[in-house]
A and B are shown apart, each in its own frame.
Chain A
């Protein structure tokens, strides 16, 4: 059976060019970057070149990039690293406000759970509401800020509904507030879904920290990074041999990082053309689904969304049934997000944008990518209406 992959938001295959760039680093140039001999120095050189390439794609300096193993690790480092530094000395003292952190209701679970953990350690957390498109309100953010606020972390583009937040405006607002209060509230954004797909410039966005991930952009799993603006006060969470300027001890995963860097290079070169191609396909998909399937709706922002993301909900049917039925027809898509598909609770993001429980249960995410062809979309548009119709026949609601 033909298999069509339409779940690029969950992970992407490695681009063959990335694979070629990586392969010597598994067995020929396998050195440890901390070694003084030529094997070590070869690896060290590859690491530093990779750092420059990744930095380049976000307009950062290479010394502002810390490599990690995953976006989850980067996000943990951003939140816990900033919080722990701010609370130094009072971490184990009871009844002291250790600092206030602001996130949104539609963050990835690794931000939500890190914030929840910090809350248990005595930090205060505000979770900003979003509107029906998934956008936060800048006025809400301004109102939420207090003198104890140390960090704001807002996801750049939603992994589920694709909505892109006005990061530049948030950055500007925080800069003005910092100036007025003579404070330093750090600003972090999780750009795991957007990096490599749409232009990102850390200076224009005025962020202090930014998370990016390799396996969402045709690089390998096991590599990610955290941009840390020079002068940012942050504590490491992994202590040891002092790799990554002491910010992240661990033997460096050179092959994965080389792959990540090559993936960045390719995205940089091909982004403009690729965005146009994907948007065209994606719009065809959205139009086709909404036209062909009665009682179907688009989740997220109609315009301000990732080029490759489409998220629908279908009245009277349940998401997992749609996904499995599609899979049996050779199409791989997902419900809300891959992480939550083992849970019974509907997606927190869909509930946050105001969907009812049964509506959120009936959602489907289709995410396109570099290897998606028009005929794949045509096939989905042929299969999906039949799947929905079939499931509705069995449903008690109609």
Chain B
């Protein structure tokens, strides 16, 4: 049996013993995605260095995640996949690759793998922005989509957020 409940053994392994969790002090780039309202928040920190050929690589990567088993496992696996990769290679990590690395995800949890890809893209985008560098078209497109989705969620839950602020008497 390669499954425990709804999750594969690989998912459970990453969940139980996550790789690269925590914060990086003075990171070169940070990607913050997800929303507490939906129950998943992923923060990804990267440190960028150069490899022997002179290409920029992800020297170090760490994550902090609030979320379900799938969110924690995809966070862990994306850091593993990205570590040591050039920025271009890292940008090419997609949700299929993450899902494959985990031996599959339940359909209802596919969005967690998207979140992990987004977090990585955002961290790289953030790094390039900080360096005042040209942002590849694909990365900028993703950034625009992520920002748009953030707004949509805030819009969708506007009433809830207002009600919650009223009940708790404080700003979010």
Contacts and interface: CB of A to CB of B under 8 A. Distances in A.
Interface of A: 316-318, 320-321, 324-325, 327-328, 342, 344, 346, 351, 354, 356-358, 361, 393-397
A325 B7 CA distance: 12
Contacts of B7: 324
Given A321-B15, A357-B39, A396-B65, 9 more contacts: A316-B66, A324-B7, A324-B12, A324-B69, A342-B108, A344-B38, A357-B164, A394-B63, A394-B64
A396 B68 contact: no
A356 B168 CA distance: 9
25 contacts: A318-B66, A321-B67, A324-B12, A324-B69, A325-B16, A342-B108, A344-B38, A344-B39, A344-B108, A356-B168, A357-B38, A357-B39, A357-B164, A358-B36, A358-B37, A361-B36, A361-B39, A394-B18, A394-B21, A394-B64, A394-B65, A394-B72, A395-B64, A396-B66, A397-B66
B108 to A, nearest CB: 6
B77 interface: no
B48 to A, nearest CB: 21
Interface residues of B, number: 32
Interface string B1-27: 000110100001001101001100000
A328 B12 contact: yes
A318 B72 CA distance: 10
Contact of B39 (A354, A358, A396): A358
A320 B69 contact: yes
Q: At the interface, is chain A mostly helix, strand, loop or mixed?
A: helix
A358 B68 CA distance: 12
Interface in B12-57: 12, 15-16, 18, 21-22, 36-43
Given A328-B12, A356-B164, A396-B41, A317 B5 contact: no
B104 to A, nearest CB: 16
Interface of B: 4-5, 7, 12, 15-16, 18, 21-22, 36-43, 63-69, 71-72, 108, 157, 160, 164, 167-168
B67 A318 contact: yes
B43 A396 contact: yes
Nearest to B70: A320
Contacts of A328: 4, 12, 16
**Residue from B15, B64, B66, B157 with most neighbouring chain A CB atoms (10 Å):** B66
Q: Would you list the 3 A-B pairs with minimal beta carbon distance, nearest first?
A: A396-B64, A358-B36, A320-B68
B152 to A, nearest CB: 15
A316 B65 CA distance: 10
B65 A395 contact: yes
Q: Is the interface of B mostly helix, strand, loop or mixed?
A: mixed
B66 A317 contact: yes
Contacts of A393: 21-22
A2 to B, nearest CB: 17
Contact of B5 (A327, A351, A357): A327
Nearest to B23: A396
A358 B168 CA distance: 13
A324 B39 contact: no
A134 B67 CA distance: 26
A393 B22 CA distance: 7
B30 to A, nearest CB: 11
Contacts of A357: 36-39, 157, 160, 164
Contacts of B22: 393
B144 to A, nearest CB: 24
Contacts of B38: 344, 357
B116 to A, nearest CB: 14
B166 to A, nearest CB: 10
Contacts of A346: 39
A318 B39 contact: yes
Contacts of A394: 18, 21, 63-65, 72
Contacts of A317: 66
A327 B16 CA distance: 12
Nearest to A397: B66
A88 B45 CA distance: 64
Contact of A354 (B40, B65, B167): B167
Contacts of A396: 41-43, 64-66
B17 to A, nearest CB: 10
Nearest to A396: B64
B156 to A, nearest CB: 12
Contacts of B164: 356-357
Contact of B69 (A321, A354, A356): A321
A355 B72 CA distance: 23
B110 to A, nearest CB: 12
A397 B39 CA distance: 13
A358 B64 CA distance: 16
Task: Find the residue from B15, B38, B67, B160 having the highest chain A CB count within 10 A.
Answer: B67
B15 A324 contact: yes
Contacts of A327: 5
